[in-house]
């Protein structure tokens, strides 16, 4: 344990390359400010995977790593739709998931928004339509904002969240 604290004291905060750092800092600051203004400092997101390849989720998980540290800005992924302001929808809206995704949306208290994440919900990923797919998601849910990419990188997700915050 001593070794750990030594290392902790020696290295402190993680820095990236300077240019990326500046960009990230700018985005982070703006996100924090608008979350403060529009969501009283705390924006709760309910993640719903409607049939992804899991890369989109992996990038959302990466948002919590020490480089991006999204929670510090007041954005939280919550365990229940009843605690959420926003539904972040990934995946291709499979036939099997459609009723569950719709139900999760119902459970979110108003006012509420849906942000679609990645190319899948927009039926833009390289999948072709089969019996098992109901995408595009906009046929089933009201989508306020879309974050494109296959998958969008953590930075792109942050940019997308910022655009959403500017929009509403």
Q: Which residues bind other proteins (CB under 8 A)?
A: 1, 3-4, 7, 14, 47-62, 64-67, 77, 79-80, 91-92, 94-101, 104, 125-133, 150-151, 153
CA angle 62, 110, 152 (to 5 degrees): 25
Binding ligand SF4 by CB under 6 A: which of 98, 119, 134, 157? 119
Write out the binding residues for ligand SF4, residues 34-73 only, by CB under 6 A: 52-53, 55-56
Binding ligand SF4 by CB under 6 A: which of 14, 20, 132, 150? 150
Evaluate whether 158 touches 68 at the Cβ level (below 8 Å): yes
Evaluate whether 85 touches 35 at the Cβ level (below 8 Å): no
d(CA 81, CA 90) in angstroms, rounded, equals: 15
The pattern of x and - marking residues 120 through 139 that bind ligand SF4 according to CB under 6 A reads x----x--------------
Residue 30 CB, nearest approach to other proteins (Å)? 22
- If DSSP codes are grouped into helix, strand and coil, which group holds residue 87? strand
Q: Which is nearer to ligand SF4, 35 or 114 (CB)?
A: 114
Nearest to 52 by CA among 8, 82, 88: 88
């Amino acid at each position: 344990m001593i070794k750990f604290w030594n290392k902790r004291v020696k290295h402190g905060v993680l820095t990236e390359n300077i240019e990326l750092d500046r960009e990230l800092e700018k985005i982070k600051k703006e996100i924090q400010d608008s979350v403060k203004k529009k969501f009283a400092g705390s924006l709760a997101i309910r993640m719903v995977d409607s049939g992804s390849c899991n890369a989109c989720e992996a990038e959302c998980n990466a948002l919590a790593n020490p480089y991006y540290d999204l929670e510090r800005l007041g954005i939280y992924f919550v365990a229940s739709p009843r605690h959420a302001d926003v539904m972040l929808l990934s995946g291709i809206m499979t036939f099997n998931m459609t009723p569950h995704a719709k139900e999760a949306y119902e459970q979110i208290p108003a006012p509420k928004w849906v942000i679609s994440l990645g190319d899948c919900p927009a039926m833009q990923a390289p999948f072709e339509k089969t019996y098992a797919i109901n995408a595009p998601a906009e046929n089933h849910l009201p989508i306020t904002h879309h974050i494109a990419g296959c998958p969008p990188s953590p930075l792109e997700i942050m940019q997308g969240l910022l655009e959403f915050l500017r929009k509403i």
